[in-house]
Structure 1
Amino acid sequence: MSYAGGNEGVTDAKSPRLLDQVRARLRLKHYSLRTEQAYVGWIRRFILANGKRHPRDMSITEVEGFLSALAVEGRVAAGTQNQALSALLFLYREVLSIDLPWMESVVRAKRPQRVPVVLSRDEVTHLLARMDGGFALMASLLYGSGLRLMECVRLRVKDVDFDLNQICVRDGKGGKDRHVPLPLRLTDSLRTQVERVAVIHGQDLLEGHGSVWLPYALARKYASAARELGWQYVFPSGQLSRDPLGGALRRHHLDESGLQRAVRAARISAGIVKPATCHTLRHSFATHLLEAGHDIRTIQELLGHKDVATTQIYTHVLNRGGHGVLSPLDR
């Protein structure tokens, strides 16, 4: 067997290319496209780093050496190294059916303990005041509902409940659904946005398009669902594009990079020196709820955290500086 770098795979006269096998297995287990791209990228790097040898012909020694080199020579973050480890474990366990022994000798990148960046209420107000249009509405949802960036970008019309003033987050991190509050101040703006989506969708249908991507096997189970308004994205892209998996021409959601750039520009315009990002608005949502007296278990549910210990990190900025402690200099 040999690795054909230009053709992305370890080739065999009878079997599919290795990376194609990896992609097929990832899709069978419903991994996201982003995870698929990341895993395939790490597996390719692993193969190239070992002279294009087939992973089946390598052992734990090469795996440990590759991961250790990332930490020692590449000085990658702990999360980056863990992603590479997960990719290789998936390759060996799920694709090659080879169990790797516990890799005791791997040099692990140190995961730093950092507290989240949180904006004050005034800073949030100044930031949002310098945004307009759809990006202003999206940023307001990040803060007002505690959504993650991609949860906001992937929001569908059917999951906005105006009668109950709530949003249903489908298939969030960890594959979990949850309900979050729909801020009353955003109701009119969201209704207007949904009406705009209806107009765009109607035009797409007239032009022979209008079919949106559906997760898992829903497109086969509900043949007409992909063309229904409820399944359309609340924040659709301004143009049609080819589906990277099936090749169908359809309207996807907005690219998240546009919102990220808009938040950064607003932060700079507002004179905020904190390194605030889209995720900072979610951190601020949690912290400000704690300040308002809501219990931490409720906030854990709203954020979709698996462990309450993850939520407890927001207690660091309550009321009076670090841990809510009043400095002795101020007494």
Structure 2
Amino acid sequence: MSINTPSPKLLDQVRDLIRTKHYSIRTENQYLQWIRRFILFHGKRHPRDMGAPEVEAFLSHLAVSRDVAASTQNQALSALLFLYREVLGIDLPWLDNVTRAKRPQRLPVVLSRDEVRAVLDRMSGVYGLMASLLYGTGMRLMECVRLRVKDVDFARGEILIRDGKGAKDRVTMLPESLVPALQSHLNQRRAIFEDDLRAGKAGVYLPNALAVKYPGAPIEWGWQYVFVSGSYSMDPRSGAERRHHLDEKLLQRAMKKAVRAADLAKPATPHTLRHSFATHLLERGQDIRTIQALLGHKDVATTMIYTHVLNKGGRGVVSPLDF
């Protein structure tokens, strides 16, 4: 006699499939949030009873009534496409009638070399080291925050950035001037790791089920985060209590204070250091293809936006007032 077990709830199905595909916890939370909002927007109707018109109505509402950014609307669209195509097995037709939020064409904020120095001089400790790495390597904020010990190669003067944007690996330089500070930081980090080992809490999150394939890896020194949290936290997926990487918001706040202390009018953030890295390399004559590889851009057209700094004034044209 068979026992009929109830089918899992829709959001549980979404969560299980996201984890099967090894999406990040951030993506999981964002997708679940957008799917909930979509269902509530349509009076708690089941998504299987809705389709392209309801998706179009919801996305148009975000763009018109909520005035969301283009990236926010695209995130919502990705969540709903995942729900229909991956979870429900329904392939929606092309959503031609969606009113898309217009993506503004803005140039990146770039600091001069003197401005970068003014900001870095006003940052110290771990945050100063991380900010210097962002400017010295061109890493993205979360690439720096998630950096593992084994991916810093002092012998080759390289940093291996794993699973960057687009799930791609790449190599960037390790600035020689940061080697002493980084080695000193890792010595302190090793002491924390040894304490965690004795406390039985040295485990670390590993992506893509690597912890199952290599059961001893989570407590190996090489897999530890370079920049780690000052306290333990509960992993929402495994329930394990362990030390996670540093919260990126702490670095963002530290840089914000430094920008204010340097009396800069520019709205500089940690990502501004990546923009400045690329711009300053271009100013010194570095070829665009090399910069593209260091930044991890898929298309060189994305990297070309930094050439704007080479066109001083009105695209390099001298004003007649200055003749």
TM class, shorter-length: over 0.9
Candidates 140, 148, 151, aligned match of 2:140? 148
Q: CA deviation at 1:323?
A: 3.8
Candidates 69, 73, 85, aligned match of 1:77? 69
Distance 1:289 1:318, change over 3 A: same
Correspondence 1:261 to 2:259: no
Report the equivalent of 1:44.
36
Q: CA deviation at 1:164?
A: 0.7
1:180-199 matches, cutoff 5 A: 180-199=172-191
Distance 1:95 1:135, change over 3 A: same
Distance 1:319 1:288, change over 3 A: farther
User: Which amino acid is 1:285 matched to?
Assistant: F
- Distance between the aligned counterparts of 1:323 and 1:47, measured in 2? 49
- Distance between the aligned counterparts of 2:317 and 2:243, measured in 1? 51
- Distance between the aligned counterparts of 2:175 and 2:317, measured in 1? 31
Report the equivalent of 1:111.
103
Distance 1:216 1:150, change over 3 A: same
1:138-287 matches, cutoff 5 A: 138-287=130-279
Candidates 56, 60, 63, aligned match of 2:48? 56
Q: CA deviation at 1:185?
A: 0.7
User: Which amino acid is 1:17 matched to?
Assistant: K
Report the equivalent of 2:287.
295
Report the equivalent of 2:310.
318
User: Which amino acid is 1:256 matched to?
Assistant: E
Q: Over residues 92-149 of structure 1, what are the superposed CA-to-partner deviations in whole Å (9 max), with x where a residue is unaligned?
A: 0000000101111111111110100000000000000001100000000010000100
Segment drifting more, 315-324 vs 135-144? 315-324
User: Which amino acid is 1:92 matched to?
Assistant: Y
Q: CA deviation at 1:59?
A: 2.1
Report the equivalent of 1:135.
127
Segment drifting more, 282-291 vs 223-232? 223-232
Q: CA deviation at 1:330?
A: 3.0
- Distance between the aligned counterparts of 1:321 and 1:284, measured in 2? 18
Candidates 14, 24, 43, aligned match of 1:22? 14
Size of the aligned set, in residue pairs, is: 320
| Alignment check: 8 A CA contact 1:65 1:106 kept | yes
- Distance between the aligned counterparts of 2:135 and 2:322, measured in 1? 32
User: Which amino acid is 2:121 matched to?
Assistant: A
Segment drifting more, 148-157 vs 55-64? 55-64
SS of match in other structure, 2:116: helix
User: Which amino acid is 2:308 matched to?
Assistant: H
- Distance between the aligned counterparts of 1:24 and 1:213, measured in 2? 18
- Distance between the aligned counterparts of 2:79 and 2:6, measured in 1? 25
Q: State the superposition RMSD in angstroms.
A: 1.3
Report the equivalent of 1:126.
118
- Distance between the aligned counterparts of 2:42 and 2:237, measured in 1? 29
SS of match in other structure, 1:272: coil
SS of match in other structure, 2:111: coil
SS of match in other structure, 1:107: coil
SS of match in other structure, 2:257: helix
User: Which amino acid is 1:79 matched to?
Assistant: S
Identity of counterpart residues, as a percentage? 67
Distance 1:13 1:228, change over 3 A: closer
Runs of 5+ unmatched residues, structure 2: none
Distance 1:235 1:46, change over 3 A: same
SS of match in other structure, 2:159: strand
SS of match in other structure, 1:240: strand
- Distance between the aligned counterparts of 2:110 and 2:5, measured in 1? 56
SS of match in other structure, 1:204: helix
Distance 1:254 1:324, change over 3 A: farther
Distance 1:322 1:268, change over 3 A: farther
